[in-house]
Amino acid sequence: MIIRGIIFDVNGTLIDIKTDEDYEEIYRAVSHFLTYYGIKLHRWEVKEMYYRIMCQRREASGEKYPEFDAVEVWRKLIGRYLDEQTLEPGSSKYLSCFLADMYRGISRFRLQTYSDVISVLEELSSRFSLAVVSDAQSCWALPEMRAVGILSYFNPIIISSDYGFRKPDTRLFEAALSGMELLPEDVIFVGNDMYRDIFGAGQLGLKTVFFSSNQGTKQMDGVSPDYTIYKFAELLQAIRFFEEKDCYNHPF
């Protein structure tokens, strides 16, 4: 195989992250903050409204694998209590972004790359086009990638919240391929979820590397990756496997 590009999942593949969206302090903090704008909601009301609006937006999308936009959820929530016309221009968007960031910041307990991610990306970036396809919120994913030092390695960066649907929808993978200007047979996908990543990428014929990390679905009936790694550094061996396989199948 002649490899020209590699597409990566992010959380659970490049970034080892731990969040707890049920953490009570998230909703307590939001509740207290909203009082500055005359919105008086108990923390359990904030939580209930957030999840209700999120589910409503997913259901209304009509997508098979629907995604939501966290900033829009907060905008809808505060819009029920604040008249946007009475706010200063841009205030509604600012507040929504701030609340989304607060929500993520308080819910997040771990944010770090897996071992050897930086060194492997540094080596691969000199040889291949690198891109990202991630089920995530762009308002969180981009700052988190920047915070751990990996944002600059990838172009394009395809985030599900910007599209309204999630993996394994093939349109996300197609968007990455289009941005890379490459064909599926030229690209490898690396992910940690057997369904969303390996099944999703496999539908388009991409070769797949499954990173068996501490996150993600490990098995799916009828689905198997082309290569499995247990440490991120083993990705370099996987690359050699695909490249040498092409040589073996096409002797001089």
Sheet containing 157-159, strands listed edge to edge, beginning at the edge strand earlier in sequence: 157-159, 129-134, 5-8, 187-191, 207-211, 227-229
Residue 175 CA to its chain's centroid (Å): 14
97-138: pLDDT as tens digits: 999 999 999 999 999 999 999 999 999 999 999 999 999 999
Q: Which residues, at least 6 apart from 156, have a Cβ–Cβ distance to it below 8 Å?
A: 131, 132, 175, 176, 179, 180
pLDDT per residue, tens digit, the chain (252 aa), is 899 999 999 999 999 999 999 999 999 999 999 999 889 999 999 999 999 999 999 999 999 999 999 999 999 999 888 876 556 656 778 899 999 999 999 999 999 999 999 999 999 999 999 999 999 999 999 999 999 999 999 999 999 999 999 999 999 999 999 999 999 999 999 999 999 999 999 999 999 999 999 999 999 999 999 999 999 999 999 999 999 976 545 443
Domain ranges of the chain: 5-18+112-249, 19-109
Which pLDDT value is given to residue 248?
A: 47
Is 250 exposed, middle or buried, given 0-12, 13-18 or 19+ CB atoms closer than 10 A?
Answer: exposed
- pTM of full prediction above 0.75: yes
At 82 the pLDDT is: 82
CATH of 5-18+112-249, one of 3.30.420.10, 3.40.350.10, 3.40.50.1000, 3.40.50.2300: 3.40.50.1000
